[in-house]
Structure 1
Amino acid sequence: MTPQPNGNQRVKISADSIRAVGDAPDFTADVTVKEIEPGLNDYLIRIDLKERTSPAPIQINWFVPIVDIVGKWHPTIGPDRSLTANWATTTQTYATLGAPVFTFFSSEDKNRHTFALSDAINPISIRTQLEEEDSAANCRIVLFDAPWPQIKDYEITIRIDERPHPYHETISTISQWWSAMPPYRPAPVPESAYEPVYSTWYSFHQKLTDKEVEANCQWSRELGCKTVILDDGWQTEDNNKGYAFCGDWGVATSKFPNFPSHVANVRDLEMNYLVWFSVPFVGPKSKAWQSLKDKTLPKAAVGSAACLDPRFASVRQTIIDCYRTAIEEWNIDGLKLDFVDRFTAENPVTPENETADMVSVPAAADRLFTDIMTQLRALKPDVLIEFRQAYIGPAMRKYGNIFRAHDCPNDATSNLTRTIDLRLLSGNTAVHSDMVMWNPRESVEHAAMQLWATLFSVPQISVKQDSIPGEHEQMLREFLTFWIQRKNLLMKGRLNPVQPLDLYPSVHVENDEETLSAIYQQQHIAQLPKNSGRKLSIVNATHKPQVHLDCSKIKTARELRIYNCLGEEVNRAKISNGDSIQTIAVPSAGYAIADA
């Protein structure tokens, strides 16, 4: 008999759960519990520091019995979702890094215990440590473990959800909870955020020319891309990578002799134009270095570059002015803002010529981006802003309308996992894949796997027309056609990614008109959703020429048309009602369709 989730024990947080870390000054804590519905509780915690002071670390602990729990999930977890023992690492969250939410799930993908914090701006440390003595997870939150301004009191709500709903639905409700809070109201998402993208990064790196970029924009537009992102390299004559020249953000005229004219040529193709900026970096070879070098965080950025400190008003204004100029003078449609997670919590610097007007780096970053977006939206209401995983929390949804998976070149498994992880928490914010690339000598089926991994996100393509074989181009054209035809289903349908512990061996999506199931792992048996005559698509994103389907919910027999990855019909098959498990021959990287 399967034990009840968490036995008869309900998690409780009380004033006794809250204590100082080390020799913190005296304080008092009060906990008020509000039951939203059975199994869903908000714990409002009020901390009184007795006097106005910079708070010392305070921790909150509670225990979750490990009963019918097989794994955990949080937004920056990576591939290991196991229940790691008491040497588990601490997860840091703040405005520009991750999001304060953890989920424990069962073997049947049900939520067993999810907790989330109302404070997604300030630095908070979270640890879920398995205690060997009693097989329980010690959930620990540490507040004030970073530089803070002086305060007298502080409030935070911990929402704990133990309702046995599908894990992905539980995570989605946390996203909705944050979205309803005025401090985290998400940015509007124009439809253009859902259009396929051509990116110059993997295809060009820093070796850019206006004519070659325009040629590949023309090509990708014909394939179905409606946005281009000009990545690193446009701002420097140096092509050796690194960030020593960042900070001035002037166009390299040897590459783009007339940048506004170049942008106009691309926009004439009816493509949106976004430009990359590494937000915090200033390099020693930039002209800006002398005026900004003393207003940088103690922690180095990359190589010789430093990371600007947003606690200084002059730093914030410099960044804002830069982006205003780009939007106004170049007539671009948006920005790709990179390395935002380098705004880490640090002790303040003390230059002689200016005093910082803020103490907390994450709070200063929040103020910076609030001011950026207020001014940019006044210039262009539908401005597109891309942020990269892992700066993808509720605070970042206020500013960005595109969240992209973290870099994973030529790595289909990571692109799938990262885009699905993003989808779980991002609401209507457009989730994009990392830029797709592959070796031109790869088989066309294996190359197609890189694209199928992006199916449930907006695909970003980063290969050159003259670098891939004609067969690869045909496959790419077919994939984009397939994706565009189903865009509304894929981006706005009801998503069900199964088995998070195993990195989503199949993913399903449905709306009132159609369903789609994509299978990513060989030998996995994918349960098709109840179809009721709706259009059905099945994608075989594995290296085997067959898929295994649980058809127990299919009430009527369906005829399938089978296609290879080039879009050529190669066979027909039937799904029989009444037979639970069926194996259907579908080419590797191919797909099957049953019409409504």
Structure 2
Amino acid sequence: FGLTDIIDDARFFAKMNQEKCTYDVTIFLTLHPESADFELILDERPIPWTEALADWRKQLNIPVQKFPAGAWKPVFCTWYAVHAAVTQDWVEKNAEIASELGFGTLIIDDGWCFDVMKRVSPQTIPDWYEWIGDWNLSTKKFPDFVNHRNRVQAMGMKYMLWVAPFLVGAKSEFKKQYPDCFKPEYKEGEYTIDSRKKDALAAQLAKMKHVMHDYGLDGLKVDFIDYIYPNTEESEGREVMAFVRELAKVIRAEKADALIEFRQCYATPGMAPYGTQFRAGDVPFDFIDNFQRISQIRISMGDGIPVHADPVYWHPQESPMNISRHMIASLGGVPMLSMDLLAVSETEKKIIRRWLKFYEEHLETFCFGHWKVVHHQSNTAYMSVTGKGESIVILLDPARLNEAVKDLKGTVTVLNLSEYNLELAGAETSDGEGKAGKAGIIVPGGAGVRK
């Protein structure tokens, strides 16, 4: 089932009818005076559901987007590595290492706009966002921000800050200025703005302009847009989309090629004109789930879209093999990392550098090739991308190796995301550090090239 109205709030219910051996499906859609004509699509063709989804996406007639070059650059993010215990000195030292490893964008995540130093834990999360909403830089954490930002940008890195314009912290000045602008539900120190409060939304847009302009940024990571949920009884979908459109205008008015990151829950075809990169949801430590989430966005949004991995983050005692598998999983999208690079070993750096170099060498294929996502039941078995004269396969299910490569022409590279050795006749192989391996045997976390 699919609707071509992707603005108005909708809800699909499917209830099992055991008597008839069917599902009873009910679709609710909230219409407005400005709602355009739309289609309800029922696709009964015996084809993979991924193909049906791609055909639905074509029906939306969304213009093909041209994304800035920076949207395809690997990203170093501060979040998992340091949370809100972030400082100018730590950022700058890590940025220097990150740029040498091959990262092209830096995201300062949550924590830059308040003085409290803290890490995420069961003790800190109940009131985590209490200071959010004012969007003024902490001069305690960043005492010389302008020169600091200039130095990072001089390393060749884009500089982005995290924002969440729909969150109103319980201790923020914004809450005092607009005491009736938010919904009653209290979560982790914050309330959610009521999108029907036009004055409050306008004030948040002004704050986003302030952040872009006054801090001289290359873009924003825009978080928690999904905190205003679809609701067919009290619809806010049109208000949310109007805000997103205006937000993109405000950001791009400051910098035409600005980077705008959206998270997975709102990484949808309809958001393509307003964002430049679409990131998998939070999955620290879990490279398989990262791979699954990346594939979900690819299926939804199609080819030529900068789908970003959630930041790769592993346990300090993780094995080199699994670190390499983390990096391979991230190559299903644009790689992103969040580790304290001052603390990682030389072996870890070799693995990071090896896979970022591989990404850079095959950038044209990763960015503009045709992606294929194959599932086994509810899990992604493998993803492959085919460009000019080459194909790259990221294989999670070892039983699908022959299927994944049988129709591929030209140079075929298989990246082994599984925990088993793969046998690929005639392949030149290497491990996660790039060391040559036994011909035809691809170790876990390694690669094999068949020409």
Task: Give the Cα separation in 2 of the matches to 1:394 and 1:152.
Answer: 21
Partner residue in 2 for 1:4: none
SS in 1 for 2:309: strand
SS in 2 for 1:328: helix
SS in 2 for 1:562: strand
1:227 to 102, 105, 108: 105
CA contact (8 A) 2:130 2:172 kept: yes
Partner residue in 2 for 1:482: 358
What CA deviation, in whole Å up to 9, does each residue of 1:332-379 have, x standing for no partner? 11100111111235799xxxxxxxxxx742211111121122232222
Task: Give the Cα separation in 1 of the matches to 2:400 and 2:300.
Answer: 25
Matched, 1:290 2:167: no
Matched, 1:531 2:408: yes
Partner residue in 2 for 1:58: none
What CA deviation, in whole Å up to 9, does each residue of 1:398-455 have, x standing for no partner? 3112110000001111101100000012133311011101012111001212111112
Going from structure 1 to structure 2, the CA distance change for 1:482 and 1:305 (only over 3 Å counts) comes to: same
For normalisation by structure 1, the TM-score amounts to 0.70
Partner residue in 2 for 1:589: 445
The amino acid across from 1:592 in the alignment is G
Task: Give the Cα separation in 2 of the matches to 1:330 and 1:543.
Answer: 45
Task: Give the Cα separation in 2 of the matches to 1:508 and 1:515.
Answer: 7
Task: Give the Cα separation in 1 of the matches to 2:230 and 2:442.
Answer: 51
1:215 to 59, 68, 93: 93
Partner residue in 2 for 1:104: none
Partner residue in 2 for 1:161: 43
Partner residue in 2 for 1:566: 433
- Which segment drifts farther, 425-434 or 153-162? 153-162
1:88-103 equivalences in 2 (<5 Å): none
Aligned-CA RMSD value: 2.2
Task: Give the Cα separation in 2 of the matches to 1:128 and 1:333.
Answer: 44
Q: How far apart are residue 153 of structure 1 and its match?
A: 8.7
SS in 1 for 2:155: coil
Going from structure 1 to structure 2, the CA distance change for 1:512 and 1:394 (only over 3 Å counts) comes to: closer
CA contact (8 A) 2:109 2:161 kept: yes
Partner residue in 2 for 1:59: none
Task: Give the Cα separation in 2 of the matches to 1:569 and 1:505.
Answer: 26
- Which segment drifts farther, 389-398 or 206-215? 389-398
The amino acid across from 2:101 in the alignment is L
CA contact (8 A) 1:526 1:548 kept: no
Partner residue in 2 for 1:400: 275
Partner residue in 2 for 1:265: 151
Identity across aligned pairs (percent)? 26
Partner residue in 2 for 1:364: 239
Q: How far apart are residue 188 of structure 1 and its match?
A: 4.0
Going from structure 1 to structure 2, the CA distance change for 1:295 and 1:345 (only over 3 Å counts) comes to: farther
CA contact (8 A) 1:515 1:529 kept: no
Going from structure 1 to structure 2, the CA distance change for 1:374 and 1:564 (only over 3 Å counts) comes to: same
- Which segment drifts farther, 481-490 or 185-194? 185-194
CA contact (8 A) 1:311 1:360 kept: no
Q: How far apart are residue 287 of structure 1 and its match?
A: 1.7
SS in 1 for 2:428: strand
SS in 1 for 2:335: strand
Partner residue in 1 for 2:223: 338
Task: Give the Cα separation in 2 of the matches to 1:446 and 1:154.
Answer: 50
1:128-147 equivalences in 2 (<5 Å): 128-144=14-30
The amino acid across from 1:286 in the alignment is S
Q: How far apart are residue 474 of structure 1 and its match?
A: 0.8
1:15-54 equivalences in 2 (<5 Å): none
SS in 1 for 2:377: helix
Task: Give the Cα separation in 1 of the matches to 2:391 and 2:175.
Answer: 54
Unaligned runs of 5+ in 2: 119-123
SS in 2 for 1:253: coil
SS in 2 for 1:222: helix
2:138 to 243, 252, 257: 252
What CA deviation, in whole Å up to 9, does each residue of 1:76-99 have, x standing for no partner? xxxxxxxxxxxxxxxxxxxxxxxx
Q: How far apart are residue 124 of structure 1 and its match?
A: 1.0
1:344-493 equivalences in 2 (<5 Å): 344=229, 360-427=235-302, 428-493=304-369
SS in 2 for 1:481: helix
SS in 2 for 1:505: strand
1:503-514 equivalences in 2 (<5 Å): 503-514=379-390
Task: Give the Cα separation in 2 of the matches to 1:347 and 1:312.
Answer: 19
CA contact (8 A) 1:415 1:434 kept: yes
What CA deviation, in whole Å up to 9, does each residue of 1:251-289 have, x standing for no partner? 111110122222111111111111101221111212222
Task: Give the Cα separation in 1 of the matches to 2:34 and 2:262.
Answer: 34
CA contact (8 A) 1:447 1:472 kept: yes
Partner residue in 1 for 2:70: 192
Matched, 1:299 2:214: no
SS in 2 for 1:162: coil
Give the number of the structure whose residues are more often strand, by fraction: 1
For normalisation by structure 2, the TM-score amounts to 0.92
Q: How far apart are residue 172 of structure 1 and its match?
A: 2.0
Unaligned runs of 5+ in 1: 1-114, 349-358, 550-557, 574-584
Task: Give the Cα separation in 1 of the matches to 2:64 and 2:78.
Answer: 28
